[in-house]
Amino acid sequence: MLRVENLHAWYGPSHVLQGIGFEVRRGEIVCLVGRNGAGKTTALRSIMGLVDRRSGRVVFDGQDVLARPTHVRNALGLGYVPEERRIVQGLTVRDNLRLGMLAAKRRERDALAEVTAVFPRLAERLDQVAVTLSGGEQQMLAIARAMVSWPRLLMLDEPSEGIMPVLVDEMFTLFQRMRDDGTTILLVEQNVELALSIADRAYILDQGTIVHHATAAALLQDTAVQERYCSV
């Protein structure tokens, strides 16, 4: 479903991604892991078209989208939940979700019914100003906002950050259910063991390059590689 080839990306003079390549097959959860600063977030932002200077190929469902604007990539079925969540100031939960429906042109009633079934806490807070939600609830909203656009591939950046452990477990169970229901997932996650426990395959990024690729089950057992590339 997604193939990244020789992808380079820069922030100003900093050459952050140095020719990375990987693929995500339909119906998988694939995780990108590595230390802070390895380039994981930049990889997702580049795939979504949010990094100005980039080169290479990003092929989504047979189309090279590297030169396409972000809103076109979203309309094609790429969803993205950024690390900082990007909840819109001043808008209610309902209005934040409406933003996610724009590209998919979905009926609001159907979309709200779908995501509130997954996140019942949001059903109780639809008319609450979204930035007053707890951190965990804001993360649920960010994921729900991406879900209502009907993504065929959902990219998640550090979804467990700042979330209570009990909610993290619920969230990662949800990701498995979404995968089983047909949503392909590309996951960046600092909690390596948790990510590997639900993923099918994993790539390790180090200093802007892919240094290791394995099944998630194999990497979960390879503590030496984890300590070399993923330990803080």
Report residue 152 as tokens: 């065929």
Report residue 81 as tokens: 């939940």
Angle subtended at Cα 228 by Cα 224 and Cα 232, rounded to the nearest 5 degrees: 120
Average pLDDT over residues 80-97: 89
Helix (H, G, I), strand (E, B) or coil at 32: strand
CATH superfamily of 1-77+151-232: P-loop containing nucleotide triphosphate hydrolases (3.40.50.300)
- Which part of the chain is CATH 3.40.50.300? 1-77+151-232
The answer, yes or no, to whether residue 116 has pLDDT greater than 80, is: yes
The answer, yes or no, to whether residue 214 has pLDDT greater than 80, is: yes
The answer, yes or no, to whether residue 39 has pLDDT greater than 80, is: yes
